[in-house]
Structure 1
Amino acid sequence: MRKFLVLLDDSHECLNAMRFAAMRAANTGGGVVILSVIPANDIQHGFGVADVMRAEAQERIEAHFEVFAKWMRSRQKVEPELRIREGDPAEELIAQISEDEEIGIVVLGLNSDKAAANPVLSRLLREAGPLSCPITVVPGDLSKERLEAIT
């Protein structure tokens, strides 16, 4: 099965990337892997604080994931997989691709605001050599109707 890998974050454009991945997976018999990365610098170390911060971050991620997962299950009939990693988002995305041979396409959202560049996308485009699959870039301001038409 071909899987679409989407990076879950708090950005607006993430929503369209999720929608696109789910619709393409539903239309092609594929799957969706949702990756969320806890930045290592968000975890303060010492006296058990890191464990508490990590657990809180995972709870937030799982709640955010469930919103998308519920929509994917009910509307697209796709059961997404959640992967949570810790570190640099671009490095962890590349690592996830190399560890899961079924990932066929990376789907990332693109912010229409030029001042708010996507650092993961920028880095992947600079260092695309180690990627073993294509990247699909989904504009964050595409309408639901347009997304449905192109998927």
Structure 2
Amino acid sequence: MDTYAHNSAITRNITVSNDALSDTAVDLTWKARRDRADGAFIASGNAPLTIPLGSRVTQPVSFTAPTGDSRVHPVLSTEKAGSTTFTDAVEYLSLGNAPGTVDHAASAVTCTGSWGHATGESVPYAGTNSCQPAVAAGADVIRPRRRRTAY
């Protein structure tokens, strides 16, 4: 999953295939929506493409990431001769700080307990930092029970 900064320019390259037996005209339509596939509208576009039979082309799609949201959902569809041939609204792009640029042990990040770098890691977050919850002396720590399976 890719992460983009708020208010940054986002360009995604969309590969469109033509696996039909006739007609090289394919219309790509895209929409970018806030936080979910049916969320508020951010941007949209349409690209009439000519794709040889059995081939594919790549079409760049660009828009500006909104502020304050955590995700952008690109909603993609293709049409041939007025009939929808493909739709995709499952993927999403994360917004915020990109992985590798946030030091979760920094004082600006709060955690009830303590932050720690993984063994051998001394650089900002690389996907391995963890927050260890503070536990008062004598307090019970509740963990989910594991289900035992009889064989």
The structure showing larger relative contact order (alpha-carbon pairs under 8 Å, at least 6 residues apart) is 1
Greater share of residues in helix: 1
TM-score by length of 1: 0.23
Structure number with bigger Rg: 2
